[in-house]
Chain A
Amino acid sequence: MGRAYNTIAFDAAKCDGCGDCMRACARAKTGGEDVARSRIQIAAGSTGFELALCRQCGDPRCVAVCPAGALAKDGQSGIIGWDAGKCVDCLLCTLGCAYAGIALDEATGRVAKCDTCEGSPACVPACPHGALKHHTTARIYNEVGDWEDLFAPGLAGCQGCNTELLMRHTLRRVGPDTVLATPPGCVPGMGSVGYNGMAGTKVPVFHPLLTNTAAMLAGVKRQFNRAGRKVTALAIAGDGGASDAGFQSLSGAAERGEQILFMVVDNEGYMNTGMQRSSATPYGAWTSTTPVGRESKGKTQDAKNLPLLMVNHRCAYVATASTAYMDDLYDKLDRAIVAAETGFAYLHVYSPCTTGWRFPTDQNMEVARKAVETNFVMLWEYTPEQGLHLSRSVDDPLPVTDYLKVMGRFRHLSPEQVQHIQAKVEENRAFVQQISQQSQAPREPSRFAGHGGDYGKGDAPRS
């Protein structure tokens, strides 16, 4: 499997051109204050500030044009390194790069480029506006990539769907000693249970009824317990099967403390059957059974908050997660796997649906991220011992319109409907924060917290 690498990302909207990043780089790399010698350059463009920085490209032009073999991409770190001994100072690389990522340092007469300061770039923490981020999730993808993919290749998801990502990553982490239940919905629709006599996974998998997933898994798990065998009972269910018709068996299994890891992929509707409304569909959303017409415009009720209902079952573990925040998701998945050894673990993953929500197929992660940044969905985790803790700050959200406008299912909303949704977001935030503030016990250290992920010190719960 190919490797993923860490990267420095730039958010132009947050940059005011102060130059602190360039000064930090110059100090780190030259020992001086001359920003001309910085390997990161911020320049005013026609629509805002632009970045000149080495992208550590996968197919680097600089390497291709170098006649001396002085530039090479390191397979482990992904960094394009420059070998001063081999360089003949022809400067061809500076012409080859489209990003101005390698340039002449006039003080030395030689080229200079970013080497990410050995994985800890000086520029990123220097930015006072958070416009620069060092994304380190690559480590997770690489670690996961080394585990066996337990799904069959070529699942039949819609283009841009992130559920396949979720399925593959989850099963890799849970491992082969698993019995997987995928009730009717997108997950079996993609082929998890197999077609034409072929299985869709390398672990035992079945297609329970929409209504009985948790009960059937409970029987499986209990029988293996009787036999003295350690087997993980995993459900990957949709929001409809969990919050509507399947809710009774889910609730019953949670009440009995069945040792199940129940993951809900919440795409806010019955997307596999043609995008019908579920109780998880948000207010105002178009679905094929809450259409937009003269008399009504989308769903007229608010969504049922299933994860909070599961908190009220006092499950061994409850958490919400998003595929836009994979490090957080992995952290929670690890905790859920452990919790499911002794009790009911519930993991609710918000999963934007490019087909049903009507947004371009390359925007899935962006939509997922906006949902979190606007507090439209909230990331938290709960255990009976430690209560509920927010996984990231919710005090400075973007307006909910930033989320609503990126997809078609909310296109018809009236100002009153937008107001209703914004009010609901505020109400939900206050409600969850209130529970969170009553939870005084400290959160355990995150598995990934030491690796500088998005969930570093700055995002500690503010309870």
Chain B
Amino acid sequence: MSTATLERSATKPRYIVCEGNEAAALAVALARPDMVSVYPITPQSSLVEHVAKLVADGRLDADIVDAEGEHSVLSVLQGASLAGGRTYTATCGPGLAFMFEPYFRTSGMRLPIVMTIVTRDGITPQSVWGGHQDAMTVREVGWIQIYCESVQEVLDTTIMAFKIAEHHDVMLPVNICVDGNYLSYGSARVEVPEQAAVDAFMGVKNVNWHAALDPLRPMGVDPLTGGAGGKGPSAFVRYRKGQCQGMQNALRVITEVHEEYARCFGRSYAPLVEQYRMEDAAIALMTIGSMTGAAKDAVDEARQAGTRVGIIKIKTFSPFPIDALVAALGKVEAIGVVDRSVAFRWNCGPMYQETLGALYRLGRHVPAASFIGGLAGADMTVEHFHRVIRDTEALRHGRLSAGPIWLNEND
């Protein structure tokens, strides 16, 4: 773990070595939230510890609320957000499950709360290790969900998340999904931007212009809609439709914010879908999160051996970037989709399931296979991705697997 520190007086970007959880905490401090509510849970704990230390050291002027559980963690932030505060928290796995009741409501109230999910596999089977099952399970609840590949990307995306969430065309909560264990505890060199530059990037805070709990602007927040002998379901439909529209607007805003961030700080990431060596690819691997590094190494080796393979990495998973994915698929003849979690109902990975929907928009048939790996913290190696490449190449030639391929089945 890192012991490096960020100098408040720094006028130039600083380079430090730190774990993903500390990178997230440093980014939170740079974004200057008013309130951070915390409850510890593995593998998120060190993240909120870092935030608490930043507050204790006077390097972050925020009200830190040690709530008695994740349900209250998010509830405290809902109140603070409605009163005009910028808000942040982090959780994972069982904590996210416990938080579900206010979690569902956050997007409906259009509260731009930012929350890191340091992803963890779902219990039971009992496990405290990484996996995407927690974040994937709540993918359909109206939060924006953005997955990171590296520690540097965790820092940069965390800053961007506030700007995306608070954009007036979006006004939706954002999850930054950080692979538990691999990114949370993995240390790497990161560049920390200077505070003044981040302040200029963030602009003016105005998070409760749409709905406020403020005696100067009294209103009934989230009144009962529909029924009651009144206007019928139209108010409910208007709100729900607005949520869906906000999600669609987010695709544009996420892209714009990434472009602006690149201009301000010199680091750019594909905001929705990254294409890696896709220029003449006959087959594509689809990846998400930190597994992508090993996948890129495998693709580099396979390319050297003559296989025309590339990678489509999903960064923004919710809203699902259908158009960007369809554009990336180009002339691909087979796809191997690698998930770090499962979709129980379809006996496959969730990203695979979503991709099937996007393929309908493509207008031609492309064979696709579901690979499931990295459950409960299992390592996903270059060798695993060579297998994915081999199986996807076979699929291209018509050899279909009956069900999902479980990459760590015999590890």
The answer to whether A220 touches B75, judged by C-beta atoms less than 8 angstroms apart, is: no
Asked if A461 is at the interface of the complex by the 8 Å CB criterion, the answer is no
The answer to whether A193 touches B224, judged by C-beta atoms less than 8 angstroms apart, is: yes
A contact residues, total (Cβ < 8 Å): 46
* Bound complex: CA A214 to CA B35 (Å): 16
The answer to whether A251 touches B68, judged by C-beta atoms less than 8 angstroms apart, is: yes
Asked if A288 is at the interface of the complex by the 8 Å CB criterion, the answer is no
Known: A204-B219, A212-B71. A195 touches B230 (CB 8 A): yes
Q: Main secondary structure on chain B at its contact with chain A?
A: mixed
The answer to whether B67 touches A215, judged by C-beta atoms less than 8 angstroms apart, is: yes
Give the residue name and chain of the B residue nearest to A196 (CB).
Answer: B230
The answer to whether A179 touches B213, judged by C-beta atoms less than 8 angstroms apart, is: yes
Q: Which residues 193-226 of B have a CB within 8 angstroms of A?
A: 212-215, 217-224
Known: A219-B80, A252-B68. A226 touches B85 (CB 8 A): yes
The answer to whether A223 touches B223, judged by C-beta atoms less than 8 angstroms apart, is: no
Q: Which residues 144-178 of B have a CB within 8 angstroms of A?
A: none
Q: How large is the interface on B (under 10, 10 to 19, 20 to 34, 35 or more residues)?
A: 35 or more
The answer to whether B231 touches A197, judged by C-beta atoms less than 8 angstroms apart, is: yes
The answer to whether A209 touches B105, judged by C-beta atoms less than 8 angstroms apart, is: yes
Residues 195-206 of chain A, each 1 if its beta carbon lies under 8 Å from chain B, else 0? 111111111111
Residue picked from B68, B71, B222, most chain A C-beta under 10 Å: B68
Known: A205-B220, A227-B84. A252 touches B228 (CB 8 A): no
Question: What residues on B are CB-neighbors of A227 within 8 Å?
Answer: 83-84
Asked if A155 is at the interface of the complex by the 8 Å CB criterion, the answer is no
* Bound complex: CA A206 to CA B212 (Å): 10
Question: What residues on B are CB-neighbors of A193 within 8 Å?
Answer: 220-224
Question: What residues on B are CB-neighbors of A202 within 8 Å?
Answer: 218
The answer to whether B71 touches A219, judged by C-beta atoms less than 8 angstroms apart, is: no
Asked if B342 is at the interface of the complex by the 8 Å CB criterion, the answer is no
Q: Which residues 163-203 of A have a CB within 8 angstroms of B?
A: 176-179, 188, 193-203
* Bound complex: CA A60 to CA B92 (Å): 72
Question: What residues on A are CB-neighbors of B78 within 8 Å?
Answer: 212, 216, 219
Chain B nearest CB from A214 CB (Å) reads 8
Number of A-B contacts (CB under 8 A): 153
The answer to whether A204 touches B213, judged by C-beta atoms less than 8 angstroms apart, is: yes
Give the residue name and chain of the B residue nearest to A254 (CB).
Answer: B68
Give the residue name and chain of the B residue nearest to A231 (CB).
Answer: B215
Asked if B72 is at the interface of the complex by the 8 Å CB criterion, the answer is yes
The answer to whether A249 touches B221, judged by C-beta atoms less than 8 angstroms apart, is: no
* Bound complex: CA A218 to CA B105 (Å): 18
Give the residue name and chain of the A residue nearest to B63 (CB).
Answer: A222
The answer to whether B69 touches A248, judged by C-beta atoms less than 8 angstroms apart, is: yes
The answer to whether B215 touches A199, judged by C-beta atoms less than 8 angstroms apart, is: no
Residue picked from B66, B69, B76, most chain A C-beta under 10 Å: B76
* Bound complex: CA A211 to CA B75 (Å): 9
Question: What residues on B are CB-neighbors of A198 within 8 Å?
Answer: 220, 223
Asked if B65 is at the interface of the complex by the 8 Å CB criterion, the answer is yes
Q: Which residues 315-336 of B have a CB within 8 angstroms of A?
A: none
The answer to whether B72 touches A248, judged by C-beta atoms less than 8 angstroms apart, is: yes
Give the residue name and chain of the A residue nearest to B37 (CB).
Answer: A219
Question: What residues on A are CB-neighbors of B223 within 8 Å?
Answer: 193-200, 207
Give the residue name and chain of the A residue nearest to B223 (CB).
Answer: A194
Residues 245-265 of chain A, each 1 if its beta carbon lies under 8 Å from chain B, else 0? 000110111011000000000
Q: Which residues 404-421 of A have a CB within 8 angstroms of B?
A: none
Q: Which residues 20-45 of B have a CB within 8 angstroms of A?
A: 34-35, 37
Apart from A193-B222, A212-B72, A231-B215: 12 A-B pairs, beta carbons within 8 A: A176-B215, A176-B218, A193-B220, A194-B220, A196-B231, A209-B75, A215-B76, A218-B65, A219-B35, A219-B85, A227-B84, A252-B69
The answer to whether A212 touches B101, judged by C-beta atoms less than 8 angstroms apart, is: yes
Known: A196-B228, A204-B218. A215 touches B84 (CB 8 A): no
Chain B nearest CB from A409 CB (Å) reads 28
Chain B nearest CB from A221 CB (Å) reads 8
Asked if A208 is at the interface of the complex by the 8 Å CB criterion, the answer is yes
Question: What residues on B are CB-neighbors of A216 within 8 Å?
Answer: 75-76, 78-79
A-B contact pairs, 28 of them (CB 8 A): A179-B213, A188-B224, A193-B220, A193-B223, A194-B223, A194-B224, A195-B230, A196-B231, A197-B223, A198-B223, A199-B218, A201-B218, A203-B218, A205-B221, A206-B213, A212-B75, A212-B78, A215-B79, A216-B79, A218-B79, A219-B37, A219-B81, A220-B213, A223-B79, A248-B68, A252-B72, A253-B72, A256-B66
